[in-house]
């Protein structure tokens, strides 16, 4: 396997400049010890964590200036961690998680590039209840519903890590699973709305997806 090739770029989120080291493109692959393969991550899916996707740009821009005071926040399936890095710049209490074995190293590198505080990270499988993360007031994510089995797995994972009074923001690019996922979340006591993001001039193409906003405000979990 040839060495990875990187791209260094600066992304503007409002008045915040984020400096990133990403993969050069989606043709990169480096799994010499077979770690990703043992986790079920194929060579085709391996590089997807390491580039900036439109949904992650929508999430980061939506959260710019968001009221995060006194909130414990978790980014699920963070990939390159754009939203986490932006919230870290805003001095929010942010943790991140992903299943890919390379994510933590990239997150550490990019946090350092932005002179940020270390972001707590755990590599986790949604389908295994082995997390030490605890519970959060706000859970965020982008482009998470790749396959049908992710609907139930993600909703259950969120329920396990969301406080009884909590908010969840998921940017979905339009993979056709938002309604089934929302129904699953309703079973855990969440109400929800879907809405189109506004003012997305920072994207090179029109955004066909939605921001999924979930709220739970009762004193005990259901489901």
Residue 220 pLDDT exceeds 60: no
CATH class of 50-217: alpha beta
pTM here? 0.94
Q: 212: how many CB neighbours lie within 10 A of its CB?
A: 22
CB-CB contact of 155 with 188 (8 Å): yes
Residue 77 pLDDT exceeds 90: yes
Question: If you search the block for the tokens 């939605």, which residue do you land on?
Answer: 210
Give alpha helix (H) positions in 50-134: 54-63, 82-89, 103-113
CB-CB contact of 95 with 133 (8 Å): yes
Give the span between the Cα atoms of 146 and 207, in whole angstroms: 17
E strand or H helix at 161: helix 149-161
- Give the up-direction half-sphere exposure of residue 118: CA atoms within 13 A in the CB hemisphere: 5
Give the span between the Cα atoms of 154 and 145, in whole angstroms: 8
Residue 129 pLDDT exceeds 50: yes
The predicted model gives 123-131 an average pLDDT of 82
């Amino acid at each position: 396997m040839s060495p990875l090739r990187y791209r260094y770029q600066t992304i503007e989120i409002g008045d915040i400049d984020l400096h990133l080291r990403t993969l050069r493109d989606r043709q990169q692959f480096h799994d010499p010890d077979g770690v990703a393969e043992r986790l079920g991550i194929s060579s085709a899916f391996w590089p997807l964590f390491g580039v900036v996707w439109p949904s992650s740009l929508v999430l980061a821009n939506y959260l710019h200036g968001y009221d995060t005071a006194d909130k414990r926040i978790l980014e699920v399936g963070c990939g390159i961690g754009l939203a986490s890095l932006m919230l870290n710049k805003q001095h929010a209490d942010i943790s991140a998680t992903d299943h890919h074995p390379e994510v933590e190293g990239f997150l550490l590198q990019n946090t350092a590039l932005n002179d940020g505080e270390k972001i707590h990270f755990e590599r986790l499988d949604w389908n295994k209840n082995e997390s030490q993360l605890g519970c959060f007031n706000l859970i965020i994510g982008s482009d998470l519903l790749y396959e049908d089995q992710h609907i139930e797995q993600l909703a259950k994972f969120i329920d396990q890590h969301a406080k009884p009074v909590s908010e969840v923001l998921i940017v979905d690019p339009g993979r056709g699973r938002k309604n089934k996922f929302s129904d699953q979340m309703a079973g855990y006591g969440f109400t929800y709305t879907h809405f189109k993001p506004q003012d997305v001039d920072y994207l090179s193409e029109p955004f066909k997806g939605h921001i999924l906003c979930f709220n739970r405000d009762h004193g005990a979990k259901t489901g």
